[in-house]
Structure 1
Amino acid sequence: MIDPWQRIGEKKCLDEESRAALIEMYGSRGKKALDAVTQGLVKKYRDFFVVTGSSGDHVVSEGVCTCRDFAFRQKPCGHILAVRIAELTGAYETVDAWYQESWKK
């Protein structure tokens, strides 16, 4: 099996082999991560990455996510994987604002 992270980092894009390897390695979390990136659900704010999931926005920072899956398992969730993919490929929307400011609204 190929190392999908190395391959994505070298190619700066997702190819079919990388996608298949991520799904094989992470199962449904890998598929959800790929879907989030493909659908443009990853945003990079000045302070955090934010991934919009089925239950709302999830903040990802330094390998930690605010979702229930991460809180329960303490292992990479689909949101963390999506951010990692997005960082390697540049497939995220940049938002020139502080996400923390949106909490006050």
Structure 2
Amino acid sequence: MRKEGLSSAVERAVVEVYGERGRKALLAVKRGRVKRKGKLWVVEGKTDEYEIVGELCYCMDYALNVVTGKAGVDMCYHVLAKKIAEILDERGR
């Protein structure tokens, strides 16, 4: 997967919807911290690696803020980074 591939307009839209989570997700993809391992995706976070299963993550942000609705968005930055990387991977970028 190449690190480029998203237009600046798409990047702005991601940040507009997801805020800091969007910025962190885009940075994780650009820095190559999102990897496919078979059917799993793994995102290297600050302190740990997070396996993404479908659209579920086991990080504290997902458990405390996304699941409860406190975050106001439907995914943590790890899941968002996985989705971005998956789309870029499918497009051959």
Shared fold per TM-score greater than 0.5: yes
Counterpart of 1:88, as a letter, is I
Runs of 4+ in 1 over 3 A off after TM superposition: none
> Percent of aligned pairs with the same residue?
37
**Bigger RCO of structures 1 and 2 (CA < 8 A, at least 6 apart):** 2
Q: Which consecutive unaligned segments of at least 5 residues does structure 1 have?
A: 1-12, 92-105
| Matched residue count | 80
The two structures have a TM-score, normalised by structure 2, of 0.80
State which structure, 1 or 2, has the greater radius of gyration over its C-alpha atoms.
Answer: 1
Partner of 1:77: 76
Counterpart of 1:83, as a letter, is K
- Which is richer in helix? 1
SS in 1 for 2:38: coil
Partner of 2:86: 87
The two structures have a TM-score, normalised by structure 1, of 0.71
SS in 2 for 1:65: coil
Q: Which consecutive unaligned segments of at least 5 residues does structure 2 have?
A: 68-73
Provide the rounded CA distance (Å) in 1 between the counterparts of 2:39 and 2:8: 32
Provide the rounded CA distance (Å) in 2 between the counterparts of 1:29 and 1:40: 17
**Aligned-residue CA RMSD (Å):** 1.7
